[in-house]
Amino acid sequence: MALEVLKGKTAFVTGAASGIGQGIAQACGNAGMNVILVDLRAKALAEAAVWFEQKGYPHHTIELDVTDRAGYAKAADNAEAKFGKVHLLVNNAGVEVPMVPLWKSTYDDIDFITGVNIHGVLNGIVTFVPRMLNYGEAAHVVNTSSQSGLSVVPGATLYNLTKAAIAAMTETLKGDLKGTNVDASVFAPGPVQGNLSVTSYEVRPESLGNKAEIPVFAPPPEVNPAEISPTAGFTPQPELDFSKATISALEAGERVLNGVQRGDLYIFTHPEFAPGIKNKYEAMLRAYPAETKIDPVRTQIFEGFFSFLTQNPVYAEQKPVPGFYK
Ligand SMILES: NC(=O)c1ccc[n+]([C@@H]2O[C@H](COP(=O)([O-])OP(=O)(O)OC[C@H]3O[C@@H](n4cnc5c(N)ncnc54)[C@H](O)[C@@H]3O)[C@@H](O)[C@H]2O)c1
């Protein structure tokens, strides 16, 4: 059941104090929804709420670390006490860590990024989906992945793997929710105006050291650039202004709501990434052994009861998306 009518419904958006989460929250406000802005950074959360106050939009702020399971349950109670049922959960809060080759990563960095980017999303799903199923009304879960979770950015192993996990968990979740009142989408944006390379270091535990001075695409000083994948520490080209490739967070938010209403499996922002995705899946197809003779017994097994191993109907349901450019 798709969440087609948004007006009067309630959205719970994590990472809403900045960037994409703030844009999604604002798009929800513009769509007439009650908006619950959720973030770990209390001051930024209060600042993000000002826009809603000025617009006179119904909203509420909740300070939450999405990795805190008990805190998440309390936040859900708090949200329900304020607006009743929560119809849209957007698991968007995320962090990055300095780009180093995986074998140079610290266990602390591994725990930090998987904690927020994977466990934070799992916590949101485990907290809210049972409640949504109980409501019996159309509801939807959006999980923010990234294009880099679908076609990996060289050198960003930890970030890529957390975002790939979001895609896999959401694809499975959507299939498992089929026939219920709850639906799910993967949001996999390309570049959007956001502050991940700043906020990730604000929320980074002191024990991991503050590496705020390290931009995401540059290796930290202790790493020999020669050890980084050649395209990871790329040389900026001054004549190309990368910011022109970004879309605004509000536009990203509007695309998310459009995808929710359509019941899309994947919500994308940049068609320029499509050829890279095609290359990836074509590479996989080339890698399957070109057998001249297919074993008939195996075929029977995989086309019979065990087809759930080889075919997932969730993919066939994705409909073509009309162009966004006007
Ligand atoms: N901006 C992009 O180009 C882009 C592209 C692809 C994917 N993404 C993903 O989109 C999401 C938002 O990115 P953004 O660029 O808007 O970043 P941002 O830094 O502007 O916002 C992230 C927000 O998440 C919050 N947060 C971090 N850890 C938290 C925690 N443990 N609990 C609660 N809140 C927490 C931060 O305080 C911050 O307000 C992230 O998941 C990111 O990986 C961003």
State the pTM of this model: 0.93
**Residue range 205-263, pLDDT digits in tens:** 877 765 544 444 444 455 554 554 444 445 556 678 888 999 999 999 999 999 999 99
Per cent of the chain over pLDDT 70 is 90
Distance CA 36, CA 18 (A): 14
Contact of 19 with 193, CB cutoff 8 Å: yes
Domains and CATH numbers, the chain: 10-310 (3.40.50.720)
Contact of 320 with 264, CB cutoff 8 Å: no
**Residue range 135-171, pLDDT digits in tens:** 999 999 999 999 999 999 999 999 999 999 999 999 9
What secondary structure does DSSP assign to 215-259, as a single string?
Answer: -TTS--TTS-GGGS-TTTTPPP-TTS-GGGG-B-HHHHHHHHHHH
Q: Identify the residue whose tokens are 């059941």.
A: 1
Range 304-322 burial, b when 16+ CB lie within 10 A, else e = eeeeeeeeeebeeeeeeee
**Residue range 277-303, pLDDT digits in tens:** 999 999 999 999 988 778 889 999 999
- pLDDT of amino acid 32: 98
- pLDDT of amino acid 209: 66
Distance CA 16, CA 23 (A): 8
Closest-CA residue, ligand 1 atom 14, reads 194
With 90 as the cut, is the pLDDT of residue 191 above it? yes
Strands 266-268 and 34-39: unpaired
Is 159 tagged catalytic? Answer: yes
**Residue range 49-84, pLDDT digits in tens:** 999 999 999 999 999 999 999 999 999 999 999 999
Q: Which residues line ligand 1 (CB under 6 A)?
A: 14-15, 17-21, 39-41, 44, 64-67, 92-95, 116, 120, 144, 146, 189, 191-192, 194-196, 199, 203
108 CA → ligand 1 middle, Å: 19
Contact of 174 with 229, CB cutoff 8 Å: no
- pLDDT of amino acid 151: 97
**Residue range 98-135, pLDDT digits in tens:** 888 899 999 999 999 999 999 999 999 999 999 999 99
Paired with 144 in beta bridges are 187
- pLDDT of amino acid 212: 45
- pLDDT of amino acid 11: 98
Pocket test for ligand 1, best of 13, 14, 18 (most atoms within 8 A of CB): 18
Task: Report, as an integer, the average pLDDT of 88-99.
Answer: 96
